[in-house]
């Protein structure tokens, strides 16, 4: 059966690209799959899969390998595998007390990784980007020849405008309206797209794609150290609000007669659940860092009353604010990251009790609260997912890369249009 | 140019249905359009549009009419118009103090409408559904022969499981786990799909499709009388959470030492901004209804101090809770419906001042707060949009209807599968 283009109202090149995208997205997200699994998951015909795989194998993006025999009769079907080194991204992470860089391959494997401490407090945009450039060169130079980089993803503890990577505010860095995306593009001298997002948004993305929340369509990720951030996955897609500023769950009012927040408002949730209040409640310096929190957790483990009481009070406030968010957002799963992932074992039952008390029955029945499985690396892993997005949306643009060793100029321009 | 099915990996029937859906959805949403506008908005080719319009005109769903001359040279292009009476839905609305029914045609016109008062307080599911059946017969019987009904949409002041229209809780009606959708299906003896949703969710949908928020992709609708509800539009799509329970913004904590809410928790936003607290602050019976609120607004207009003070205090709490929601959701527009739409002129500046004080700078800059334009009928109009959804998703299923005067059994079953 054949039919004319006009019968369809669609163009064949559009369809080819959409099909390639569906296939590469599956392989990147779900790892090695048989052709039958690809047919089932993409909804494409077997012969369409065959044709497109030929193209992808020739382009070096995937390979087909014989699976290990499973002890069942007959030959196992070959598995289609993404080739991690065929296209990599550079992932960067700017946290309050550390910086990190990683090279992550198609399929999501971390190929190279480095994380270094940074002193708390304010730093200029220039200083941080220079430090990141050194880290990037460190991980890149571990591979000769250099791996083909198709994008840069950046996680940052700040409120980010997705369109251009402007950091509207990052109180812990002392930033207001800093052009992080542009600065990285300039200092790194790169032509590949640079995508920037809030670290909690990316933590949510990573836990949903690679962590404890795989397959969870409605997810609320709650993370923090000093600041408190949130990431939302709605219907399987990251929710960012109209300009990427969404998810600032640390700044909901929970206590009108409470403390003044760094944001200027009074009684924000962050003032009751962040690391500062936890340390203060435990009689420690509120300026303490990760090591002080670890010491506090050791104390609590040993039954030191003030440490136990501090965690309990923090846990109750965690539950109280969370109850309202569960009513508003009706998530299937709440994932605790950062500080909250670490204190989860101590506060889980108190959080659950507050949810029982203060959440409407219907959303309460559906939600569970768990600690994330990617720990402190969740935002970095999410930054990689973000950086792969232009490639996954249109792999055809990137396939010329393999032939020439570098991307054609037109492919680069097209890629940047996809991102813009 | 022709190509084989296998080159595409898509089936022609799938494409035909998707194209019909795109066309009918545009005409239903945006009203009469020229063929050129349809080409631009659907992305289909001109000849694909021509073929599909032929099918739709033959099916009676659309007609082409010559537009009025605009004083410019040349003939005006004909306009493709949805035919309102070719397919209608029955919209029902269960509010705390009223019930309503309407017949709404393809394209969104309200063809028939009735609203009656109901006494506040608890009513059984059976009693309310029986009352709705009387209202439905009233509006249906105004047209002979009866218009072809393709769906029933129901708005209700309760927390609703979208999948089957179970009302998990509706405190103002005294309902817990009442199968509203099934009951309507049974009592109305209908084969068309019955879709049920929370009235604030539907108010949001209606304001986004037909009201003040047309074209707004990120919308927070805040409405209420006694209870407070919210509706979210995210990326142009209704946000309902994992099971339709999302948007319960009345039950975020804003005052831990405040009043106990009807939901059992302490200090919910609803306890500070609902009609009960407004009336109490104005020295009126907190059990008063719509007329008492109107009298209070008259007093405020006349400058009666206690009425002005009551509205001011309510306005401040409205702004405080809203600030946190704006931080979490980063909407472009906040639309006040119900009680809040009516008090908006009195509280707008106070709400804005609280947002200035308590919202992060970036989301604050992007958001405006306005009163809705559909008033009390927003949920009913939204119920109609919900009821049209199966038809818009696959108009091909419904086109046999016109020939036979009734839908074929297979089309009905298929429609119900689409909804399930």
H runs (alpha helix) in B217-304: 270-273, 275-281, 290-301
Judge: A332–B15 Cβ closer than 8 Å, yes or no.
no
Average pLDDT over residues B211-219: 93
Average pLDDT over residues B205-228: 92
pLDDT in tens, A279-290: 999 999 988 888
pLDDT in tens, B4-63: 344 455 567 788 888 999 999 999 999 899 999 999 999 898 999 999 999 999 888 999
Judge: B328–A249 Cβ closer than 8 Å, yes or no.
yes
Nearest C-alpha of chain A: how many angstroms from B153? 22
Instruction: Provide the token pair at B400.
Output: 């046999």
| CB–CB contacts below 8 A, A to B | 222
Residues of chain A in contact with residue B12, where contact means CB-CB under 8 angstroms, are 1, 3, 7-8
CA distances to A363, B185, B253, B275 from A358, in Å: 11, 34, 9, 21
Strand order of the β-sheet with B62-66 is B33-34, B78-82, B62-66
**Cα distance between residue B231 and residue B160, in whole Å:** 13
| pLDDT number for residue A66 | 80
| pLDDT number for residue B225 | 81
Q: Of chain A residues 352-411, which have a CB less than 8 A from chain B?
A: 357-363, 366
Burial class (CB in 10 A: 0-12, 13-18, 19+), B411: buried
pLDDT in tens, B270-294: 999 999 999 999 999 988 888 899 9
Given a cut of 60, whether residue B226 has pLDDT beyond it is: yes
Please tell me which residue, A362 or A120, carries the higher pLDDT value: A362
Residues of chain A in contact with residue B332, where contact means CB-CB under 8 angstroms, are 242
| pLDDT number for residue A186 | 95
Average pLDDT over residues B65-79: 72
Average pLDDT over residues B61-82: 79
Radius of gyration (C-alpha) of chain A in whole angstroms:
23
Pick the closest to residue B322 from B407, B254, B412 (CA basis). B254
Nearest C-alpha of chain A: how many angstroms from B38? 12
| pLDDT number for residue A400 | 52
pLDDT in tens, A20-66: 999 999 999 998 999 999 999 998 989 999 999 999 998 889 999 88
Whether the CB-CB separation of B77 and B67 falls below 8 Å is answered with: yes
Given a cut of 70, whether residue A408 has pLDDT beyond it is: no
Instruction: Provide the token pair at B374.
Output: 């559909």
Instruction: Confirm whether the ipTM is greater than 0.85.
Output: no
Whether the CB-CB separation of A56 and A23 falls below 8 Å is answered with: yes
| pLDDT number for residue A70 | 63
Q: Inform me whether the C-beta atom of residue B331 falls under 8 Å from chain A C-beta atoms.
A: yes
Pair type for strands B368-371 and B333-336: parallel
Q: Which of B2-6, B205-209, B416-420 has the highest mean pLDDT?
A: B205-209
Q: Inform me whether the C-beta atom of residue B156 falls under 8 Å from chain A C-beta atoms.
A: no
**Cα distance between residue A238 and residue A218, in whole Å:** 10
H runs (alpha helix) in A211-304: 270-273, 275-281, 290-301
Sign of CA dihedral B35, B39, B44, B47: positive
pLDDT in tens, B318-369: 999 999 999 999 999 999 999 999 999 999 999 999 999 999 998 999 999 9
pTM of the model: 0.83
Pair type for strands A219-224 and A333-336: parallel
**Structural domains of chain A sorted by starting position, each given as residue range(s) with its CATH number in brackets:** 12-82 (1.10.10.10), 86-202+378-419 (3.30.420.40), 212-373 (3.30.420.40)
Nearest C-alpha of chain B: how many angstroms from A339? 20
CA distances to A64, A297, B30 from A373, in Å: 30, 19, 46
Whether the CB-CB separation of A333 and A213 falls below 8 Å is answered with: yes
Residues of chain A in contact with residue B240, where contact means CB-CB under 8 angstroms, are 330
| pLDDT number for residue A69 | 63
Judge: A328–B325 Cβ closer than 8 Å, yes or no.
yes
Judge: A252–B249 Cβ closer than 8 Å, yes or no.
no
| pLDDT number for residue B240 | 80
Average pLDDT over residues A121-130: 94
| pLDDT number for residue A290 | 82
Whether the CB-CB separation of B151 and B97 falls below 8 Å is answered with: no
**Cα distance between residue B161 and residue B242, in whole Å:** 9
């Amino acid at each position: 059966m054949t039919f004319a283009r006009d019968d369809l109202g669609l163009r064949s090149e559009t369809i080819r690209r959409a099909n390639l995208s569906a296939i590469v997205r599956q392989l990147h997200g779900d790892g090695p799959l048989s052709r039958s699994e690809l047919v089932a998951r993409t909804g494409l015909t077997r012969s369409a899969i065959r044709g497109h795989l030929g193209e992808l194998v020739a382009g070096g993006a995937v390979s087909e390998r014989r699976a290990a025999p499973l002890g069942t009769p007959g030959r196992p079907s070959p598995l289609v595998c993404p080739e991690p080194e065929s296209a990599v991204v550079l992932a960067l992470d700017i946290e309050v007390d550390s910086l990190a860089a990683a090279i992550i391959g198609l399929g999501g494997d971390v190929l190279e990784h480095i994380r270094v401490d940074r002193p708390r407090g304010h730093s200029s945009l220039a200083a941080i980007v220079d430090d990141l450039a050194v880290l990037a060169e460190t991980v890149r130079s571990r591979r000769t020849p250099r791996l083909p980089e198709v994008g840069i993803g950046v996680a940052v503890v700040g409120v980010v405008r997705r369109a251009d990577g402007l950091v509207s505010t990052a109180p812990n860095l002392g930033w207001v309206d800093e052009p992080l995306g542009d600065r990285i593009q300039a200092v790194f001298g790169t032509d590949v797209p640079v995508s920037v997002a809030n670290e909690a948004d990316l933590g949510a993305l990573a836990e949903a794609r690679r962590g404890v929340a795989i397959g969870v369509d409605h997810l609320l990720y709650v993370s923090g150290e000093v600041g408190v951030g949130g990431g939302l996955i709605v219907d399987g897609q990251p929710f960012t609000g109209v300009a990427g500023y969404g998810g600032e769950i640390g700044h909901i009012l929970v206590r009108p007669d409470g403390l003044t927040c760094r944001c200027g408002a009074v009684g924000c949730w962050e003032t009751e659940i962040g690391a500062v209040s936890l340390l203060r409640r435990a009689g420690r310096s509120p300026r303490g860092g990760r090591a002080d929190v670890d010491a506090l957790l050791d104390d609590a483990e040993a039954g030191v009353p003030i440490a136990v009481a501090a965690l309990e009070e923090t846990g109750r406030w965690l539950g109280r604010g969370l109850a309202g968010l569960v009513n508003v957002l009706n998530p299937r799963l709440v994932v605790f990251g950062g500080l909250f992932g670490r204190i989860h074992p101590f506060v889980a039952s108190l959080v659950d009790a507050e949810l029982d008390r203060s959440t409407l029955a219907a959303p309460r029945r559906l939600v569970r609260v768990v600690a994330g499985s990617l720990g402190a690396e969740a935002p970095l892993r999410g930054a990689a997912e973000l950086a792969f997005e232009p490639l996954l949306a249109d792999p055809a643009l990137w396939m010329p890369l393999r032939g020439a060793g570098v991307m054609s100029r037109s492919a680069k321009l097209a890629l940047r249009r996809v991102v813009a």
